[in-house]
Amino acid sequence: MNFDYSDDQKMLKDEARRFLAAKCDAKVVRGVLDQDDCAYDAALWRAVAAQGWLGTAIPENYGGLGLGHVELCALAEELGRACAPIPFASTVYFVAEALMLFGSEAQKAKWLPRIAAGEAIGAFATSERAGPVTQASLHTVATGGTLSGEKIPVTDGDVADLIVVLAKDGMYLVEKGAGVSAEVLRTLDPTRSAAKLVFDRAPVERLGGDDGIVAMQAVFDRAAVLLAFEQLGGADRCLEMAKDYALERFAFGRAIAGYQAIKHKLADIYVKNEIARSNAYYGAWALNSAAPELPLAAATARVAASEAFWFASKENIQTHGGIGFTWEADPQLYYRRSRQLSLVAGAPATWRERLVSQLEMRNAA
Amino acid sequence: MDFNDTPEEAGYRAAARAWLEKNVAGHKALPHADDMAAARSWQARKAAAGYAQITWPKEWGGGGGTPIQSVIFGQEEAKFPVQYGYFTIGLGMCVPTVMAFADDATKRRFVGPALRGEEIWSQLFSEPAGGSDVAAIRTRAVRDGDDWVVNGQKVWTSGAHYSDYGIVLVRTNVDVPKHKGLTMFWLDLRSPGIEIRPIHQMSGGSNFNEIYFTDVRIPDSQRLGAVDDGWKVALVTLMNERLAVGGGTGASPKEILALAKGLDAADGPLIADPAFRQRLADWYVQAEGLRNTRMRTITALSRGQTPGPESSIGKIIAANQLQDLGNAAVEAEGQYGIIADPALLPLKGLFQTAVMNAPGLRIAGGTDEILKNIIAERVLGLPGEIRVDKDAAFRDLPVGR
């Protein structure tokens, strides 16, 4: 038993933190926030690709580094801490994982090396309307090698080279090009881009078997663990920001960090973050070892991390007082991101429901 | 990250399980008159096999093992009906303090009997005037020849009514600030002048006591640490307390599920109620989060690191969750929920009991508020509370209730 990163993994994580501190400060995040037509920071994307991070969990024979998923979790934590404005999650947690789970040899050989090299951005298109994605919510259909329908919202759909689309009868691979049009959406977190995608007889390839919802859920389970680490990194950063500010800000003759109301608030954030961390670690183990516990562990990690990041991001603004909700202060960056990450693979309520149904299944077995 | 046993751990687990299966069966066959006798006999068996205090050195009767082995044994032991609480405070807090500060003869006299469950220890710290403010102790000890004469009152001493010995923190100097005038002793709880009165709690239980000292004589040879330096000794005890108490996990997922399946809501079982399922998920997340947090603490221990005040989160979460979850269950029973007769209730009234015990659990071993201060100050490095009594002599402090 060992419930922590190994020394090598810690070293990787420390290097990633230093790298991102140099390449992805708040100015970089704001650069994307403040420009209406900017989907992501291209320089950071190239730098991250050059580090090999995109291929962390992709096997070496497909151009990746062939490390494990725990290493990818460590990087996810740091990307979340930096609020990195790049299509890393869409490309790596969703599309690369979908390809590794369900891709044919030819599909993997074609796409995984391009993903690992940073030459192909991915998007995972499932939602068509408000509410959870269920079989009844799907109207996209594939016939005769082409696909038609609408997906909204698709994170990174406007810049994706490869889109994994959930249709009524399964998942499909769609390349950017003929039959695919994108309309950029205004969203709660403009540092991460999203679009409405319209498919009009777009040429497609089948990815996996007949039950698309089951396949989507399998991808979501894997992404949920990785997203939980991004959320955890973001929540930790919020606690740090709140703490630093509270120590610097004086009111009524002393630092506000000395007031019990603020101390207990920050202690509450800390407690939620630690619960999220412990559950994320368990999820990382389940993901990395392909344990049968993965669906339950992923749901547990996701619910804990969503709650922690939401709480930390809103109480960080509260701790900052009036400056906290201005455009120029940084707490909003994490507040926005906490909403994006909590919803990108299904809302917390959906994951709570999944958690309980997994518990029931395990209990019945 | 690896949540599976290593080959060595798996071997230890298999040996522990085999030992438990053989010995619990034999243990159950013994004709025990009461719970305490069964507990003592089980403790003696564990001690003989090196399972009583697995992380203690062998020379002191321990198992000479690792924290992970201790956890493994605990996990396996929990599968049998042989979990007793009588020895936790003694072995977890008092005896380690004795081992750290007493002379060799004293250690040789007491460690073994405590380990084997022959003698039980209590911790005598809290007073009516000092709960969270532990150092506000008023029980006085005055030097008289080779003895100290003690007068005053202790309160909230768990299990003192069945304990043989205790460690007691008393005031030996009132002319210095409060932390600087305390001294620690060990004592025989049957010494003349000691009166132990059980406290009747709101839950109906009487696990705590108040202890009155009237001219109780404690020989100076029973002092632990230097005169007026008892706060340093107390910190060692309290650090061990955090380790022992901080491991709570609240209601287990098993109980949470049993709750949801065992109760009927308006339209079928409670487990089918979508709103209740949402809350159920949150409780499970917290229970699992605590379980895995404990595993992280043990990983740190096994790497030779000292677990810090982080473990304070265990008690904050566990006690609150037990209160919320217990209440949700009681409310789900509707009008029937007010009943407190175990014979009439689902799960033998487990959740009614939780509701009545939870207020005490949120206070014992440090209130939520104190634990949050600990996290804020010692983990996050925020400023300490303003302490107006810090530099004043104890005798000049204002006295309220």
Weakest-pLDDT range from B55-64, B255-264, B316-325: B255-264
pLDDT for the residue numbered B302: 76
| Distance from chain centroid for Cα A334 | 13
> Peptide bond preceding A295: is omega within 30 degrees of 0, i.e. cis?
no
Residues of B annotated as part of the active site: 241
Is there a contact between B313 and A270 if contact means CB atoms under 8 Å apart?
yes
pLDDT, greater one: B218 or B263? B218
Share of chain B residues as helix, strand and coil, in percent rounded to the nearest 5: 50, 15, 35
pLDDT for the residue numbered A111: 98
With contacts defined as CB-CB under 8 Å, which chain A residues touch B4? 1, 289
Question: What average pLDDT does the segment A132-161 reach?
Answer: 97
Whether residue A88 contacts residue A54, with contact meaning beta carbons closer than 8 Å, is answered with yes
Does the structure show a pLDDT above 50 at B245?
no
Q: How far is A184 from chain B (nearest CA, A)?
A: 34
Q: How far is B318 from chain A (nearest CA, A)?
A: 12
B366: tokens are 């440090």
With contacts defined as CB-CB under 8 Å, which chain B residues touch A246? 382
Weakest-pLDDT range from A222-236, A336-350, B123-137, B186-200: B123-137
What radius of gyration do chain A's Cα atoms show? 20
Please state, rounded to an integer, the average pLDDT across all residues of chain B: 89
- pLDDT tens for residues B18-43? 999 999 987 776 656 788 998 999 99
Q: How far is B184 from chain A (nearest CA, A)?
A: 31
Does the structure show a pLDDT above 70 at A359?
yes
Nearest-CB residue to B3 (from A262, A282, A352) = A282
pLDDT for the residue numbered B347: 78
B342: tokens are 């175990």
Q: How far is CA B88 from CA B163, B293, B357, in A?
A: 12, 21, 19
> For helices B253-262 and B274-302, what crossing angle results, to 10°?
170
Output b/e per residue, A279-312; b: 16+ Cβ within 10 A. bbbbbbbbbbbebebbbbbbbbbbbbbbbbbbbb
In angstroms, rounded to a whole number, what is the distance separating the alpha carbons of residues A307 and A338? 9
With contacts defined as CB-CB under 8 Å, which chain A residues touch B1? 2-5, 70, 281, 284-285, 288
Output b/e per residue, B34-47; b: 16+ Cβ within 10 A. eeeebbbbbbebbb
Identify the H or E element spanning A39.
Answer: none
- pLDDT tens for residues A320-353? 999 999 999 999 999 999 999 999 999 999 999 9
Q: How far is A267 from chain B (nearest CA, A)?
A: 5
Q: How far is CA A63 from CA A12, A58, A261, B156, in A?
A: 19, 7, 52, 65
Is there a contact between B288 and A279 if contact means CB atoms under 8 Å apart?
yes
Is there a contact between A263 and B282 if contact means CB atoms under 8 Å apart?
no
Does the structure show a pLDDT above 90 at A196?
yes
Weakest-pLDDT range from A98-112, A350-364, B103-117: A350-364
pLDDT band at B250 (very low <50, low <70, confident <90, very high): low
What residues have CB less than 8 Å from B321, skipping those under 6 apart? Answer: B250, B251, B283, B286, B287
With contacts defined as CB-CB under 8 Å, which chain A residues touch B69? none
Highest mean pLDDT among A281-290, B131-140, B309-318: A281-290
Whether residue B149 contacts residue B193, with contact meaning beta carbons closer than 8 Å, is answered with no
Which value, to the nearest 10 degrees, does the dihedral of the CA atoms of residues B248, B249, B252, B256 take?
A: 110
A364: tokens are 């019945």
Is there a contact between A263 and B300 if contact means CB atoms under 8 Å apart?
no
Strands B147-155, A180-184: pairing is unpaired
Question: What average pLDDT does the segment B358-381 reach?
Answer: 92
Instruction: Establish whether this prediction's ipTM goes over 0.90.
Output: yes
Nearest-CB residue to B296 (from A3, A239, A263) = A3
pLDDT band at B222 (very low <50, low <70, confident <90, very high): very high
With contacts defined as CB-CB under 8 Å, which chain A residues touch B383? 254-255, 257-258
Cβ burial of B74 (10 Å; 0-12, 13-18, 19+) is: middle
Does the structure show a pLDDT above 50 at B256?
yes
Count CA atoms within 13 Å of residue A249 on its CB side.
Answer: 16
Does the structure show a pLDDT above 80 at B311?
no
Q: Please state, for a pLDDT cut of 70, what percent of chain A lies above it.
A: 100
Q: Which residue of chain B is at minimal alpha-carbon distance from A350?
A: B278
pLDDT for the residue numbered B401: 63
pLDDT, greater one: A117 or B390? A117
Does the structure show a pLDDT above 90 at A71?
yes
Count CA atoms within 13 Å of residue B390 on its CB side.
Answer: 5
In angstroms, rounded to a whole number, what is the distance separating the alpha carbons of residues A58 and A122? 15
Question: What average pLDDT does the segment A283-301 reach?
Answer: 97
A23: tokens are 């390449």
pLDDT for the residue numbered A353: 97
Nearest-CB residue to A1 (from B2, B372, B376) = B2
pLDDT band at A43 (very low <50, low <70, confident <90, very high): very high
pLDDT, greater one: B238 or B175? B175
Please state, rounded to an integer, the average pLDDT across all residues of chain A: 97
pLDDT band at B172 (very low <50, low <70, confident <90, very high): very high
The dihedral through the CA atoms of B134, B135, B141, B145 has a sign that is: positive
Of A243, A262, A267, A266, which Cα lies nearest the Cα of A252? A262
Of B198, B201, B185, which Cα lies nearest the Cα of B101? B185
Is there a contact between A289 and B2 if contact means CB atoms under 8 Å apart?
yes
pLDDT for the residue numbered B246: 44
Count of all residues that appear for chain B in the document: 401
In angstroms, rounded to a whole number, what is the distance separating the alpha carbons of residues A338 and A279? 18
Question: What average pLDDT does the segment A65-82 reach?
Answer: 98
pTM above 0.80, yes or no: yes
In angstroms, rounded to a whole number, what is the distance separating the alpha carbons of residues B2 and A83? 28
Question: What average pLDDT does the segment B268-286 reach?
Answer: 90
pLDDT for the residue numbered B309: 73
Strands A194-207, A170-175: pairing is antiparallel
With contacts defined as CB-CB under 8 Å, which chain B residues touch A286? 3
pLDDT for the residue numbered A304: 98
Does the structure show a pLDDT above 90 at B217?
yes
In angstroms, rounded to a whole number, what is the distance separating the alpha carbons of residues B134 and B370? 11
Is there a contact between A270 and B380 if contact means CB atoms under 8 Å apart?
yes
pLDDT, greater one: B253 or A224? A224
Question: What average pLDDT does the segment B310-320 reach?
Answer: 84
pLDDT, greater one: B263 or A173? A173
B239 near A CB under 8 A: no
Q: How far is B24 from chain A (nearest CA, A)?
A: 26
In angstroms, rounded to a whole number, what is the distance separating the alpha carbons of residues B305 and B302? 7
In angstroms, rounded to a whole number, what is the distance separating the alpha carbons of residues A203 and B122? 77
Where in chain A does DSSP place strands (E)? 122-125, 141-143, 146-155, 162-167, 170-175, 180-184, 194-207, 250-251, 254-255
Does the structure show a pLDDT above 80 at B324?
yes
In angstroms, rounded to a whole number, what is the distance separating the alpha carbons of residues B382 and A255? 9
Nearest-CB residue to A352 (from B4, B5, B277) = B277
pLDDT for the residue numbered B29: 61
pLDDT for the residue numbered B30: 61
Of B142, B136, B202, which Cα lies nearest the Cα of B401? B136
Nearest-CB residue to B1 (from A246, A284, A299) = A284
In angstroms, rounded to a whole number, what is the distance separating the alpha carbons of residues B331 and A48? 53
Does the structure show a pLDDT above 70 at A163?
yes
Q: Compute the C-alpha angle B348/B321/A274, nearest 5°.
A: 145
Helix (H, G, I), strand (E, B) or coil at B370: helix
Question: What average pLDDT does the segment A122-145 reach?
Answer: 97
pLDDT for the residue numbered B261: 79
In angstroms, rounded to a whole number, what is the distance separating the alpha carbons of residues B399 and B396? 9
- pLDDT tens for residues A84-97? 999 999 999 999 99
